[in-house]
Amino acid sequence: MTYRRLLFIVLAVGLLASLSVAARRERHEHRANRVEIVMDDQDFQSLARSYAYDQRAFLVALRRAGLTSLAVQEELGGQVSTSPSSAVFAGTALLAQAKLTGFHDPVFARLAVHGIRNDEMYLIAYDAATAARYRRQLELKFSHRAVRVLRDALPAVFAIRTQADYFGTVGLGLPADRVALARQLGLHLVPRLQNDERFKAPQIDALLHESTNHTDAHTVIFFGLRNQVLGYPDAIDDAASAMRRLKLNFGTIETYDVKQNQSGNESLAKDLPDHTVRVQAIAKPEQDKLRPEEIIQRYDLGMRERNIRVVYLRPFAHQWAGRSIEATNVEIVRQIAASAKSAGLRVGTASPFDRFETRWWEIAPASLAVPAIVLLVLLAFGIGDWRWLAAFVVVDLALVLAGFAIHHDMAVRKVLALLGGITFPVAGFMAIAPAFRAPRAPTTGAAIVDGVRVTAIATLVTLGGVLVVVGLLSTPLTMTEIDRFSGVKAVLIAPPLIALVLYLFTSLWGQNQTPAKLGEAPVTVLQLVAGIVLLGAAYLLVVRSGNQSDITPSSFELALRAHLSTLLQVRPRFKEFVFGFPALMLVPALVPADRARWGWLFALVIGVGLADIVDTFSHLHTHLAVSALRLVNGVVLGVLLGALAVAVYRRLRGGADADAGTT
DSSP 92-128: HHHHHHHHHT---SHHHHHHHHH---TTEEEEEE-SH
Q: What is the pLDDT of residue 536?
A: 61
Rounded Cα distance, 50 and 45, in Å = 8
332 CA to centre of own chain: 23
For the stretch 419-445, pLDDT in tens is 999 999 999 999 999 999 888 888 999
Rounded Cα distance, 618 and 7, in Å = 25
Q: What are phi and psi of 206, to 5 degrees?
A: -65, -40
Q: What is the mean pLDDT of residues 208-214?
A: 89
Strands 249-253 and 219-223: parallel
Look up residue 34 and give its DSSP letter. Answer: E
Q: What are phi and psi of 159, to 5 degrees?
A: -110, 125
Beta partners for residue 149, in sequence order: 158
Question: Hey, is 250 helix, strand or coil?
Answer: strand
Q: What is the mean pLDDT of residues 493-502?
A: 92
Query: Quick check: 660 pLDDT over 50?
Result: no
Q: What is the pLDDT of residue 256?
A: 76
Whether the CA torsion 564, 565, 566, 569 is positive or negative: it is: positive
Q: Which residues of 582-602 are buried (b: 16+ CB within 10 A; e: fewer)?
A: bbbbbbbbbbebbbeebbbbb
Helix H or strand E segment including 308 = strand 308-313
- Alpha-helical regions (H) of 368-443: 369-379, 386-405, 409-431, 433-437
Helices 176-184, 128-141: crossing angle, 10 deg rounding: 120
What band does 663 get if pLDDT is binned at 50, 70 and 90?
very low
Q: Are 316 and 39 in contact (CB under 8 A)?
A: no
What band does 357 get if pLDDT is binned at 50, 70 and 90?
confident
Q: What is the mean pLDDT of residues 162-170?
A: 93
Query: Quick check: 558 pLDDT over 70?
Result: no
For the stretch 584-633, pLDDT in tens is 999 999 998 888 888 888 999 999 999 999 999 999 999 999 999 999 99
Average pLDDT, the chain: 89
Helices 55-65, 41-50: crossing angle, 10 deg rounding: 120
CATH architecture label of 33-74+174-347 = Alpha-Beta Barrel (3.20)
**Cβ atoms < 10 Å from Cβ of 83:** 16
Helices 91-100, 106-114: crossing angle, 10 deg rounding: 110
What band does 77 get if pLDDT is binned at 50, 70 and 90?
very high
- 145: amino acid identity, one letter: R
pTM of the model: 0.86
- 168: amino acid identity, one letter: G
Whether the CA torsion 463, 464, 469, 472 is positive or negative: it is: positive
Query: Quick check: 574 pLDDT over 70?
Result: yes
12: left (phi over 0), alpha (psi -120 to 50) or beta: alpha
Q: What is the mean pLDDT of residues 169-177?
A: 94
Q: What is the pLDDT of residue 544?
A: 55
Question: Hey, is 443 helix, strand or coil?
Answer: coil
Q: What is the mean pLDDT of residues 90-94?
A: 88
Where exactly are the structural domains of the chain? 33-74+174-347, 80-167, 409-654
What band does 515 get if pLDDT is binned at 50, 70 and 90?
low
Rounded Cα distance, 43 and 611, in Å = 44
Strands 308-313 and 276-281: parallel
Look up residue 153 and give its DSSP letter. Answer: S
Q: Are 562 and 505 in contact (CB under 8 A)?
A: no
- The dihedral over CA atoms of 258, 264, 266, 270, expressed in degrees to the nearest 10, equals 180
Q: What are phi and psi of 293, to 5 degrees?
A: -60, -40
For the stretch 336-351, pLDDT in tens is 999 999 989 999 999 9
Question: Hey, is 544 helix, strand or coil?
Answer: coil
Q: What percent of the chain clears pLDDT 70, i.e. is strictly above it?
A: 89
Length of the chain measured in residues: 663
Q: What are phi and psi of 554, to 5 degrees?
A: -70, 165
Segment among 41-55, 558-572, 581-595, 630-644 with least mean pLDDT: 558-572
Name, of 463-472, 569-578, 648-657, the range with top average pLDDT.
463-472
For the stretch 175-185, pLDDT in tens is 999 999 999 99
Give 506: exposed, middle or buried? Use CB within 10 Å, 0-12, 13-18, 19+.
middle
For the stretch 6-53, pLDDT in tens is 999 999 999 999 999 999 999 998 899 999 999 999 999 999 999 999
Segment among 138-147, 212-221, 392-401, 530-539 with least mean pLDDT: 530-539
Strands 120-125 and 86-90: antiparallel
214 CA to centre of own chain: 33
Q: Are 128 and 155 in contact (CB under 8 A)?
A: no
Query: Quick check: 661 pLDDT over 50?
Result: no
Question: Hey, is 577 helix, strand or coil?
Answer: helix
Beta partners for residue 171, in sequence order: 76
What band does 95 get if pLDDT is binned at 50, 70 and 90?
confident
Give whole-number Cα distances, 70 to 286, 302, 443, in Å.
Answer: 21, 20, 65
Query: Quick check: 202 pLDDT over 80?
Result: yes
Q: What is the mean pLDDT of residues 303-332?
A: 95
Q: What is the mean pLDDT of residues 284-292?
A: 92
